[in-house]
Every structure is written in structure tokens, then in C-alpha cells.
Structure 1
Amino acid sequence: MGSLGEGYVHHQGCDHIFFIGFLGAGKSTLARNLGRLFCRGYVDTDRLVERNFGKCVCDIFEQDGEEAFRDAETEVLRSLKGRKSLLVSCGGGIVERPGNAQLMHEMGKVVYLDGDLEDSLKKIRHTEGRPDLGCCMKDTKACYERRRPLYEKTADYTLDIHNKSFQEVADAAVQLLWEKGLL
């Protein structure tokens, strides 16, 4: 990083910011809004996988299987190596493969949006588009409990989003990323 002048930072190389967390944590909205606010590109790994397959995540899971989706997700991550300064919203299960964490760390910093399962479920408007939710609450809870330590292990920084409005989370994210020289 080098300074271009007061208040501006020029980033060298691959310096993405990856947002991870459970379904409904607000990763996509945060990446999109921060991207607009700070004139940085933003992408959503799930949308990139959908574009590559030409179908939605649920159809990929149903027709091609989770393994095919996870393979495509890893390829999407690899494809980001040639780009600069992206804000990346990652699918909730991206941490399921240890190699994905390594790829993210090679390309930038990882921010975990740490909330609880109940908050996530309240924020999810369309559960039919969420294959990770399973067919019952017991499956969803097991998925959350399996992923939480993976999020913690992968994260460079953690933002507590428990009982916070989106604006409070966005403000905390801006403050953290600005203080760390990432925005």
C-alpha cells in the first residue's frame, strides 16, 4: 500500500476483503453497500457460481449435488486472483473446504460476521433459496454448529452482529476496515 494523498490509499496486488458467516448474516448487503460507498467492486460467490452453471444454487444442489457446487465455489475463488480490491460476499458454506480458507488468505483479509442462528433465521426472507437450511430446524442447527468454529478459525477479524441493526453492523465494519487500512 502506498499513499496517494491525504485520505486516499493505493492498494498493490490482490487485496480483497472476504465476508464470511452463516446464512442471513448480511454479507451480500454489506459487500454491496460498502462497495458503493467506497467505489470498490463487489462480488457474491454464490451468484458467480450460479452464473457459471446457468441455474440457481438450489437447482445446482438438487441436480448436480453439493460436491459439484463446492468445486465450482473453489474455482470462483481462484478466479478472483487476477482482480484487485474486491469486497467479496462468500456463501455460508465456503469454509467447509480448508483450501478455500487458504485461497482467501492468499488474496486478502477475511471478516467474519458473527451472529447467532436465531438472528440469521429472522433475516432470511426466502428459505426456499437456501439449500443449506435442510428440511428441519435440527439440520439447520447442526449446520450452524459445524460451521461456527470454521468461521472463527478462518477469520482475520470478527464483527459481532448479535442483536445489531444492519446500519450498526455497517458502521462497525467501516470503522474496523478503515482502522486496519483496508478501505
Structure 2
Amino acid sequence: MPEQGGGYVVHEGCDHIFFVGFLGAGKSTLARNLGSLFHRPHVDTDRLVERALGKTVAEAFAQDGEDAFRDAETRELARLASRKSLLVSCGGGIVERPENCALMHEMGAVLFLDGDLEDSLRQIRCPERRPDLGTAEHAARVYHRRRPLYEGVADLTIDIRNKTFEQVAHEAGQLLWERGLL
């Protein structure tokens, strides 16, 4: 990887880092903070879909249904192929479509933030904005369905259990730096 002025590493081609994990795992905050630290742009797939549809995730689920939301999510994910060096915070359900998993691998590396359901539920500040969460029982079913999907798509995994956000951010930054991804 050649260096550019200022000591920044310049990557060739599409070299995104995708952060996946269950709701409340800290994906968006991690992408934003690592982006600031390593001078890389960050995006959030849920925000991209909201902009494209002109409505919130909750409104999209309620008005159009989950399938329509997932279609828009796949379209927005595919559009990232024309950009470089993004840190991408992915919506919790992005792994439910195999084509999304394939797209992420074509465009970069996938980092799974692996935590417990109970920790995720505690971290969620606005549950009403999480339409796929539902009741505690439904959330448990969704978590157990998605967890093997996260494990399967992951190139790298960080166990976030019993760690502060600062510890997770440090570990993620170090791991990605050591692998030449940042």
C-alpha cells in the first residue's frame, strides 16, 4: 500500500470495512469514531436507506413492509461499490440476504461485533425506531436467527462482552491497523 502525503495509507480499489452485529452493538458509534481517528469517511446503511426512501426505518417497515426495506438496503449497499475506503455501519438485518453478504465481501472486509442479546437490549436508546426488535421474545428469536449469519459473514470478530466502548474501539482500531485495513 503506497503512502500519500501526510503519511496516510492509500488503498487501491474498493476497500470498505463493514461493521455488522445485532442492534445496539455500537456499530455506528464505532464507525464514526474510527473514521475520525483514521481520517476515513463513514456511512450508515440505515441512514442511506432513509435518505433514499424519504422516510425513517420505522416508517418504511410500517408503510412498505420489511421486504421493500431490504430491497432498498441491498440497492444502497451495491451503490457503495463506486466509493473508496468507507467505514460502513450496517443495519442489524443486512446479513439476512445472502446477496448482501456477497456484496460486502466483494467490497472489503467484515468485522462482527459479537455481544449478548441482553447487552444489546440495554444499549438501545430508542426501541421505537427499531421495528424489527418487537417484544423481548421476538428480539430473542431475531438474535438467534442472525447470530450464525454474522459469524458466517465475518472476516474478523471482536467479542464486545464486558468491555467499555473505549476498549472495543481500541481493540477494533488495533486489529484493523495490524491487518493493514486502516
**Which residue in 2 is equivalent to 1:153?**
152
Instruction: Give TM-score scaled by structure 2 length.
Output: 0.97
Where do 1:125-164 residues align within 5 Å? 125-134=125-134, 136-164=135-163
Q: Where does the alignment leave 5 or more consecutive residues of structure 1 unmatched? A: none
**Which residue in 2 is equivalent to 1:55?**
55
**Which residue in 1 is equivalent to 2:113?**
113
Where do 1:86-125 residues align within 5 Å? 86-125=86-125
CA drift at 1:2: 2.5
Q: Where does the alignment leave 5 or more consecutive residues of structure 2 unmatched? A: none
Alpha-carbon separation, structure 2, partners of 1:10 and 1:23: 32
Task: List structure 1 runs of 4+ shifted beyond 3 angstroms.
Answer: 3-8
**Which residue in 1 is equivalent to 2:76?**
76
Q: Deviations over 1:71-99 (max 9, x none)?
A: 00000111000000000000000000001
Q: How many residues align?
A: 182
SS at match of 2:112: strand
Where do 1:21-40 residues align within 5 Å? 21-40=21-40
The residue identity in structure 2 corresponding to 1:137 is: A
Moved more, 84-93 or 125-134: 125-134
CA drift at 1:3: 3.7
Alpha-carbon separation, structure 1, partners of 2:120 and 2:99: 26
Alpha-carbon separation, structure 2, partners of 1:76 and 1:156: 22
Alpha-carbon separation, structure 2, partners of 1:175 and 1:97: 30
Alpha-carbon separation, structure 2, partners of 1:21 and 1:11: 25
The residue identity in structure 2 corresponding to 1:153 is: G
Alpha-carbon separation, structure 2, partners of 1:177 and 1:103: 20
SS at match of 1:133: coil
**Which residue in 2 is equivalent to 1:180?**
179
Q: Deviations over 1:7-36 (max 9, x none)?
A: 532100100000000000000000011111
Q: Deviations over 1:32-91 (max 9, x none)?
A: 111111110000000000001111000000000000000000001110000000000000
CA drift at 1:163: 1.2
Alpha-carbon separation, structure 2, partners of 1:2 and 1:125: 42
**Which residue in 2 is equivalent to 1:170?**
169
The residue identity in structure 1 corresponding to 2:124 is: I
Alpha-carbon separation, structure 2, partners of 1:94 and 1:67: 12
SS at match of 2:132: helix
